[in-house]
A and B are shown apart, each in its own frame.
Chain A
Amino acid sequence: MGSIFENMQGVPLNHYIWFCAIIFTIGVIGVLVRRNAIIIFMSVELMLNAVNLLLAAFSVHHNDASGQVFVFFIMALAAAEVAVGLSIIVMVYRNTQSIDINVLNRLKW
């Protein structure tokens, strides 16, 4: 497996930063543009993944394993978040017969 990385040497760190910024922004656009609650959740997952990849890249850059441990914790947190969030969506659907985010606008008051 080391040989794979030998071929990879030469990707500058800021290309990783740009790539993760772009993926993160796609997630933000998804949250802003879509109204389907499940797709909004998927966009949040995209944002979490962009941050994960950036943490792993910086962990390699600094030769410090703590970054990869943090990625592991973020994955555990994402699993918990998805379980609770999807059950909330199921409850909303059961009460309103829709997962359109706009039916929840009464939560504002």
Chain B
Amino acid sequence: MGTSVFYFVATLSVFFALMVVFAKNPIHSVLYLILTFFTFTVHYVLLNAQFLAVVNFIVYMGAIMVLFLFVLMLLNLNKENEPNKSALLRIVGVIAGGCLVVTLIGSLKSVAITSPLVLKNPSLGLVENLGKELFGKFMLPFELSSLLLLSAMVGAVLLTKKEEKTNG
């Protein structure tokens, strides 16, 4: 089977990502986004980054997608009520994106690293190794990220709270 798995999964994720952007119905976009994240999980497994694969599965496909779907259903936006941008703006957007990808690939061609990816340490992406790294060198950022999550939670609750009508 060799490396063909990577190319197959990469093709799938490019296809699903395109469908996310160009699907008419927002619900279909969210479902295609779930499929895209699933293919990314497969990529992590292929890189032997098992911890990241599991976290990607739980955080992205579980938490974030539930948030997206929940908001879409709550706002009752599952009908096509999006006024289309003019065709000119769409074409200009796609051309700008094409220029970006040509620039990125062209500039990275000069530093191309054609050597195949070799995993020197098989336990690199396992939980034990990453846990030692996370609670050793990265202790302070880890604690700070908990503060970030807490403030995000407080901010989300405050933002969505209905304002009381003050009659004063």
Contact = CB atoms under 8 A, between A and B. Distances in A.
A44 to B, nearest CB: 11
Contact of B3 (A10, A72, A86): A10
Contact of A84 (B33, B43, B75, B159): B159
Interface string A65-77: 1101101110111
A32 interface: yes
Interface bracket on B: 35 or more
Given A7-B1, A72-B52, A45 B160 contact: no
B100 A25 contact: yes
A21 B45 contact: no
A20 B72 CA distance: 28
A97 to B, nearest CB: 10
Given A17-B108, A84-B156, A91-B159, A46 B26 contact: no
A29 B90 CA distance: 9
Interface in A1-53: 1-2, 4-5, 7-19, 21-30, 32-36, 38-39, 41-43, 45-46, 49, 52-53
Contact of B5 (A8, A30, A78): A8
B26 A29 contact: no
A11 B5 CA distance: 10
Contacts of B74: 90
Given A7-B5, A21-B101, A81-B152, 5 more contacts: A11-B116, A39-B20, A68-B52, A69-B130, A79-B152
Interface of A: 1-2, 4-5, 7-19, 21-30, 32-36, 38-39, 41-43, 45-46, 49, 52-53, 56-57, 59-61, 63, 65-66, 68-69, 71-73, 75-84, 86-91, 93, 98-100
27 contacts: A4-B46, A8-B3, A9-B118, A12-B116, A13-B116, A14-B108, A23-B17, A28-B96, A29-B94, A33-B93, A34-B21, A35-B82, A38-B71, A38-B77, A39-B29, A52-B56, A56-B43, A56-B52, A60-B119, A63-B119, A63-B121, A77-B148, A83-B153, A83-B156, A86-B156, A89-B75, A91-B160
